[in-house]
Amino acid sequence: MKKLYLQILLVLINFSVNAQIYTEVEEVTLNEGTESDYEAFESFWGVVKEKMISDGYQDGWFIWKVDPTSFDGNPWADYLIVNVYKDKSQMESMNNKPQSWWVDYMKKAHKGKTKRSVIKKYTNETINNKYREKSVTYTNQRISDLSGGGNPSKGLVGYYHGIEQLNEDYIDFELKFFRELHKGRKLWWEVNKISDRSDNAYKPVTHMIFEINDENAPSLESNFTNEMMIKYGQTTRKIHGTLKTTLVNWRWQ
C-alpha cells in the first residue's frame, strides 16, 4: 500500500510540473533594411499561429516591437516573439517537428486564403531566415501571473525585465509582496523562471518579468511597511535590463 501511495504521489507531482505554462521568448534583431517588410512577414505567420492554436498545438503567440529608446537608447533586440504553451509537453512536441511538417502546415493554414505565390515567397523567406540578423531564445517556466482583465489590443505597452535572483528570498518577495502590491495596478503581470536558453543568450539572468501597467490605477500608498518591503525586496534581485515594447500582432485562444 505504501508503494502504491508513493506511485500516485509521483504521478501527481509529475502532472503538476507538466501542467505549468511554458513560454519561449525570442529576442530578434533584424537585418538592416528589412523592418518595413518584417511585420507583413509576421502577419503571414499569424494565420499559421491561429490555426495552430485552434488545432491545440499551442495557446498563444505575441509580437512585441521594442521601443528604440529602451535601455538608455541601446536595446538588445528589435522585436520580441512570445510563444505560449499550456505545458512543457506541448512545447517540446512543437519543437520536435521537422521542417517538412512546418512547410506543409503553412500551406494548410493559408489554403483558400492566400495566393500560392505569396505562400511560396514567405515559406522561402522563413527557410532562408531573411529577416533575423540575431536570434536569442529563452525558455520560461511560469511561476505566477496576475490579470487585471481586458483583452490584447494593438498598441498595448508592456515592459520586459531580465532579472537575476540574488538570494533565496526572491520568489517569496515576488509572490507574497510584489504580486499583492500589483493587484488593481497592473493589467497583466507574470514572473517566470528561465529553464533553458540558446547558447548566445545572456547568462546572468535567472528570471523574467513581463508586465502591463494600468495607467488609470491609483498612486501607490506611501507608508512605512511598503517602503521597507520594497527596500528589502529589491535586495533579493537585480534587474539587468528593461525593454519597453508595443504589441503589434497576436493570436490567443
DSSP 225-244: HHHHHHHHHGGGEEEEEEEE
Together in a domain, 124 and 182: no
What predicted TM-score, i.e. pTM, was given to this entire model? 0.91
Contacts of 200 (CB under 8 A, 6+ apart): 134, 136
Domain that holds residue 176: 140-244
3-state secondary structure 119-182: HHHHHHHHHCCCCEEEEEEEEEEEEEEEECCCCCCCCCEEEEEEEEECCCCHHHHHHHHHHHHH
For residue 15, tell me if it sits in a domain.
Answer: no
Together in a domain, 179 and 121: no
Domains of the chain: total: 2
In this prediction, residues 161-175 reach a mean pLDDT of 98
Q: Measured between alpha carbons, how far apart are the two ends of the chain, in Å?
A: 42
State pLDDT tens for residues 67-105.
999 999 999 999 999 999 999 999 999 999 999 999 999
For residue 11, tell me if it sits in a domain.
Answer: no
pLDDT at 1 over 70: no
Together in a domain, 123 and 155: no
- Residue 65, all three cell numbers: 516591437
**Last-in-domain residue among 134, 156, 182:** 134
Together in a domain, 183 and 228: yes
Together in a domain, 115 and 174: no
Together in a domain, 86 and 147: no
CATH number at residue 228: 3.30.70
State pLDDT tens for residues 118-130.
999 999 999 999 9
